[in-house]
Every structure is written in C-alpha cells, then in structure tokens.
Amino acid sequence: MSRTVVSVGLGQRAYDVLIGPGLIDGAGALVSPLLRKQRVAVVTDANVGDYHGERLAWALEKAGIAVDTIVMPAGEATKSFEGLADLSARLLALKLDRGDLIVAFGGGVVGDLAGFAAAIYKRGIGFIQVPTTLLAQVDSSVGGKTAIDTPQGKNLIGAFHQPRLVLADLDVLATLPDREMACGYAEVVKYGLLGDAGFFEWLEVNGAKVLERENAALAYAVAHSVRMKAEIVAEDEHETGRRALLNLGHTFGHALEAETGFGDEFKHGEAVAAGCVLALAFSAQLGLCPQEDASRAAAVLKAAHLPTTLSDLPRQGMSADALIDHMAQDKKADGGKLTFILSRSIGDAFVARDVDVASLRAFLIAQGAQA
C-alpha cells in the first residue's frame, strides 16, 4: 500500500497530511526536518500509550530526536480547563521553547487538547498531529480547530492553530475497536452527503470493506475524505462560509449528545450519524430534498450499526424543547436564529440561516421527541 500526500494549501502555514501504512515507524525522518532543535514533547493518553507509545518514541529517538512523553488520562473529561492546566504545567516543566514541537498522538481528545495547548503555550508553539482513530484521521486532525469543553458546551473555548504535519498511519486502525471505527465512518459518510454524491455511491457499495479495514478501500476512503476537508479548509480556514458544511449533522448531533450526557454511552460519531440522517430528513420535510435521499443516508449508516433515529439512542423520551434549547446555544446559532446545514440532495448540502423553530419542533415531535 503506498502513501498518499494531501496538501492543505494555506500559504505560509501550508502543511501535508500523509496517509498510509508505516508512518509511525518512519516518523523520525518525517518529523526531523521540521525541528530546529531535535526535541519534541509527545502528548498522548493512557490507552494510546499502552498500544503504540513505545513505537513512536523509538522511531523519533532513532532519528536523533529527544522525546519527552506526557500521558494524559483517556476520555473526554481530559478536554477541560483542568486538563489544559495540567498539560500546560507539564509542558512548562519541560521548558519547551518556541523552536520545539508538540506531537499530539491520539484521538480527537488528545489532538484538540494538545493543539489548543500548543496554540497558547508561550503564545504559540508548533505541533504535529499523529491521529490514532479513524475519526481523528478524517476530521479532527486536519484543519487546525483546537478546543476544550466547558460545562456550557463542547469546543466552546479554543483556537484555530494549524499543525505543521499530519501523519495518518492506517496501521493503527487495525487495533481500533469496531465501535470507534464506525464512529469515524460516520464522518466519512458525512463527506459524501455534504459534497460528493459519487463518493457516497462508492460507500454504498464499498462501505463494508472500509469498516473491515480492507487496505485499498480504507486508504481510498481516508484519502478522499482528507482531500475534501483540505480543499474546504484551504478555501475557508476560519469558517466564515463553506467550512460550515463540515458541520452537517452536528447541530442535531450536539443537541443529542448534550441530552445524553457526553459520555461513552453515546459517542460523538454516533451523534453525527443520527444528526446527518435527521438533517436530511428535516430537509425532506421542508420540501428541500427527496425523502429517498434521507433513507439512503440512513441505510449506509445503519449498515455500520450506527444510530439513525431517536429510538436508536441510549436515552429515550428526550423533549423537543430541550433539544431546541441546546441547538440555540450551539455556537452556530447566530443572533437568535437557528442555523443548520441542510441538504438539497445527497452531495449538495448548504447553510440555511433563519430556520423556523416551529417547523423544527414539529419535525422533532414527528421523529419521536416529547412535545
């Protein structure tokens, strides 16, 4: 299996995303040219450290790079002010300076936290993403969104801080639990739904091969997703326009997560899956998109054992008004009007501002939410 390079074209802050096998073992030669002093701090979590930690440190050290490893507790709770304070103190104790680099080695939690710490450490230090989940490889490690969660909501405190390099090593996905694989797959399907009907059709045929980690299918799905994301980020880095399309399914999804309690019981990728289907079904109810397209989206995600309806969720009896309150607080709410990513058809999503709350409420009740 060969290596694919996708460039994120951001002028002076442009960087490459490398996708392929063997990237962790080859990390020394890939990272070394980016370093002024041959020194990095690897930030990881206990789970990733147990599986792959030694391999990355060894690969870097073999190339003459001094490595300090910081192991954070695994889980979303680490992506908090407390986690940020802890990580910052540990980075300061290492006396890293601006010529050094942080390597974020893990899933979305590690990438978002370490990336945000890099954005503010001594007013900004470079960092590299080495994502170890499918979700992080196709979405969160690319594009420079970094953040922590607060009691008010997810990702509300953060910064845009682009990595210098992303190494998406497909080998690590072999040991990823099936449920995590499905969560990343929800984001892959999202790309087809938001902007590429041909890719969605390819997933209708080849999705099972991706989930089974068949080499060629997996490499194609990751590379295609990253290419789509890189192209959108290069055009709209700070989400003033088209980048918002990447939030397809996320307004519904975040509300479902908030009502379910941001835990292991209901994961972000599962929320995105249900959220994408709800976004297409809502579009169909508004007469914007054929109902058949919502059904096709649901079928592809259901085949990956992802939730697609409110009745699939671990918490039943959610109130329509509580869900709408979460949506109104979501950072995509603008001036009290609800903003959604809706769809005209598979592959043709658009930003809809000023969505009518009464229609939304009626839709949620028809989907099984409590009046």
Catalytic residues: 123, 145, 187, 229, 239, 243, 247, 250, 254, 268
Q: Does 257 bind ligand GLY (CB under 6 A)?
A: no
Taking the least distance from each CB to ligand GLY, the nearer of 146 and 283 is 146
Distance CA 290, CA 14 (A): 39
Output the residue with the shortest Cβ distance to ligand GLY.
Answer: 246
Verify binding: residue 243, ligand GLY, rule CB under 6 A: yes
What would the x/- binding string for ligand GLY be over residues 61 to 100, using CB under 6 A? ----------------------------------------
- Tell me how far apart the alpha carbons of residues 300 and 205 are, in angstroms, rounded to a whole number: 9
Range 351-356 contact pairs with CB under 8 angstroms and sequence separation of 24 or more: 351/241, 351/244, 351/245
Q: Does residue 345 sit in helix, strand or coil?
A: strand
User: Least distance (Å) from ligand GLY to the CB of residue 275?
Assistant: 12
Q: Which residue, 100 or 239, is less far from ligand GLY as judged by CB?
A: 239
Whole-number minimum distance, CB 357 to ligand GLY, in Å?
24
Task: For residue 149, give the nearest of 236, 207, 239, 79 by alpha carbon.
Answer: 79
Q: Which of 271, 266, 280, 277 is nearest to 300 (CA)?
A: 277
Q: Which residue, among 243, 255, 257, has the nearest Cα to 328 in the 3D structure?
A: 255
* CA 38 and chain centroid, separation: 30
Closer of 132 and 247 to ligand GLY (Cβ): 247
Distance CA 192, CA 181 (A): 17
From candidates 246, 248, 300, 301, binder to ligand GLY by CB under 6 A = 246
Tokens coding 350: 């658009």
Q: Binding to ligand GLY by residue 248, rule CB under 6 A? A: no
Nearer residue to ligand GLY within complex by CB, 90 or 332: 332
Q: What is the DSSP letter of 12?
A: G
CB 193 within 8 A of CB 185: no
- Per DSSP, the three-state class of 319 is strand
**Does residue 145 touch ligand GLY according to CB under 6 A?**
yes
Structure tokens at 344: 């005209």
* Smallest gap from residue 267 Cβ to ligand GLY (A): 15
Does 143 participate in binding ligand GLY (rule CB under 6 A)?
A: yes
CB nearer ligand GLY, residue 124 or residue 241: 241
Q: Which residue has the tokens 């990513």?
A: 341
Between 203 and 242, how does the x/- string for binding to ligand GLY read (CB under 6 A)?
----------------------------------------
Q: Which stretch binds ligand GLY (CB under 6 A): 44-52, 139-147, 201-209, 274-282?
A: 139-147
Least Cα distance to 31 among 118, 138, 122, 104 occurs for 104
The 3-state DSSP class for residue 67 equals: strand
Shortest separation between residue 243's beta carbon and ligand GLY, angstroms: 5
User: Of 139 and 293, which has the nearer Cβ to ligand GLY?
Assistant: 139
Structure tokens at 30: 């890939």
Find the shortest distance in angstroms from Cβ 248 to ligand GLY.
9
Number of residues that bind ligand GLY (CB under 6 A): 5
Write down the least CB distance from residue 279 to ligand GLY, Å. 14
Q: Is 139 in the site for ligand GLY (CB under 6 A)?
A: yes
Please name the residues in contact with 281: beta carbons below 8 A apart, sequence gap of 6 or more.
291, 294, 363, 367
The minimum distance between CB 338 and ligand GLY, in angstroms, equals 19
Residues that bind ligand GLY (CB under 6 A): 139, 143, 145, 243, 246
